Amino acid sequence: MGPHPAVADVRRAVRESLADLTRGGLVLVACSGGADSLALAAGLGFAAPRMGLRAGLVTVDHGLQEGSARQADRVVRLAPSLGLDPAEVLAVTVGTEGGPEAAAREARYAALAGAAERLGAEAVLLGHTRDDQAETVLLGLVRGSGPRSLAGMAGIVGIYRRPLLGLGRSVTTVACAALGLAPWEDPHNRETRYTRVRVREHVLPVLCEELGPGIPEALARTAALCRDDADALDAWADRVYREALTGRPPAEEASPPARPAVCLSVSVLASCPAAVRRRVIRRAALAAGSPSGALAAVHIAEADRLVTEWRGQRAVHMPGGVGVVRNAGVLAFERMCWGSPAKESRAQG
């Protein structure tokens, strides 16, 4: 008699996710002890040796609630029974920048990346499911962040892999029960002060009740379609960015910038569709030193107006002290000392 269908689904998802890895390589699973990551850990422990891979486990102790160290220790002690070795607790210190969710995520990924490098892992598996993907798409809609945000989470990004994106959260719960595993219920997953929890607990259930039970699946399909479109536009923007780079420094430089200016041909930018042009402008702003997390659509739109609605405007302010000026057919992105007459008045068609 074969495994329970839910168990089989998880194992198959793991096998498909790891099919391209080199035999003998180490794969780590990031496991909190919740149903999703616990089912994933069990699936990895089963599939890895049959694929000629080594499998280990890491669990992150954020230290944000009483008993977190005990829970992390419990997960590590469970690893041998799942066929996972090595198994480690990664204790982190969570900061405050960007809010509690963002700060915890940043600390968690930094710890996972460090563990993967130290242990020589080829991949780190994350337990995000189709329901998590649906939540991510809804959050992207609320932010109005565009198709890249609506594309949700990718199945593979660098060393990180998400084998369960095609499976619902109910599958992992059933798989754990079928395997006799007792998942841990993280109290933070019920804390409605977190935006994602409110989406999970209130918004998605209302949508399913009012519009039908297939909402998570539909949102996940939307993410996949948006990802295909965004990937195509990004590849187009990469080509245009290389073509638009002029290498020309801005004229009348009062003092050397902190890093070389990024200069783009206005005529090349003007020949592109808006979706491509704005992606190119974002790349230039990031290359000049604007922080990704602070760079918003409004900044990109203002810089875009220097191309499409040129009226002799002064420099556009970007996060990170970066300014954008148009001069002699070139759009220059550079660090600026705001208020300097030479800098501000240099922009001319």
pLDDT classification of 92: cutoffs 50, 70, 90: confident
The pairing of beta strand 87-91 with beta strand 54-61: parallel
The whole-number average pLDDT for the span 212-221 is 91
Residue 202 confidence (pLDDT) above 70: yes
Which residue would you say has higher pLDDT here, 298 or 41?
A: 41
Q: How confident is the model at residue 190 (pLDDT cuts 50, 70, 90)?
A: confident
Strand pairing class (160-161; 121-125): parallel
The two structure tokens encoding residue 290: 């604007």
Res. 127: pLDDT tops 80: yes
Contact 168, 216 (CB under 8 A): yes
Q: What value does the mean pLDDT take over residues 10-37?
A: 96
Given this model, what pLDDT does residue 344 score?
A: 43
CA atoms 222, 225, 229, 232: torsion sign: positive
Average pLDDT over residues 195-205: 89
Least confident of 60-64, 152-156, 212-216: 60-64
pLDDT mean over 72-97: 90
Calculate what percentage of the chain has a pLDDT beyond 70.
91
Q: How far apart are CA 67 and CA 70, in angstroms?
A: 5
Q: Is 202 exposed, middle or buried (0-12, 13-18, 19+ CB in 10 A)?
A: exposed
Hey, what are 209's tokens? 């009740």
| pLDDT higher than threshold 90 for residue 234 | yes
Tokens of 286: 């990031």
Over residues 75-89, the mean pLDDT reads 95
212 vs 176, more confident? 176
Task: Beginning with the edge strand found earlier in the chain, give each strand of the sheet holding 26-30 in spatial order.
Answer: 87-91, 54-61, 26-30, 121-125, 160-161, 156-157
Mean pLDDT lowest for which of 55-64, 96-105, 265-274, 295-304? 96-105
What are the angstrom distances between the C-alpha of 286 and each of 157, 296, 312, 314?
20, 11, 24, 20
Q: Give the dihedral sign, CA 273/262/347/291.
A: positive
Check the annotation: does 228 bind a ligand: no
Question: For 295, which DSSP code?
Answer: -
Given a cut of 50, is residue 341 above it in pLDDT?
A: no
Single-letter code of the amino acid located at 75: V
Q: Which two tokens stand for residue 196?
A: 């994602």
Query: 261 versus 163: which is more confidently predicted?
Result: 163
> How far is Cα of residue 297 from the mean position of the Cα atoms in its chain?
18
Q: For residue 96, what pLDDT is reported?
A: 72
The annotation status of 32 as a binding-site residue, yes or no, is yes
pLDDT in tens, 5-17: 999 999 999 999 9
Please tell me whether residue 272 adopts helix, strand or coil conformation.
coil
CATH of domain 5-227: 3.40.50.620
All structural domains of the chain with their residue ranges: 5-227, 245-345
Helix (H) or strand (E) holding 161: strand 160-161
Residue 323 contacts residue 336 (beta carbons within 8 Å): yes
With residues binned 3-state (H G I as helix, E B as strand, rest as coil), the percentages for the chain, rounded to 5, are 55, 15, 30
Question: Is-contact 268 243, C-beta < 8 A?
Answer: yes
DSSP-derived secondary structure for 41-86: HHHHHHHHHHTT-EEEEEEEE---STTHHHHHHHHHHHGGGGT--S
pLDDT at 255 > cutoff 70:
no
Amino acid identity, position 136: T
Q: What is the mean pLDDT of the chain?
A: 88
pLDDT at res. 94: 81
Question: Residue 40: which pLDDT band, with cuts at 50, 70 and 90?
Answer: very high
**pLDDT, position 126:** 97
Residue 154 pLDDT > 80:
yes
Q: Confirm whether residue 33 is marked as ligand binding.
A: yes
The pLDDT score that the predictor gives to residue 300 is: 94
DSSP one-letter code for 26: E
Q: What would the mean pLDDT of 339-345 be, rounded to a whole number?
A: 43
Q: What local confidence, expressed as pLDDT, does residue 219 receive?
A: 92
Position 254 confidence tier, pLDDT thresholds 50, 70, 90:
very low
Q: Which fold has domain 245-345?
A: 3.30.465
User: Is 73 annotated as a binding-site member?
Assistant: no
Say how far apart CA 33 and CA 186 lie, in whole Å.
9
**What average pLDDT does the segment 87-106 reach?**
81
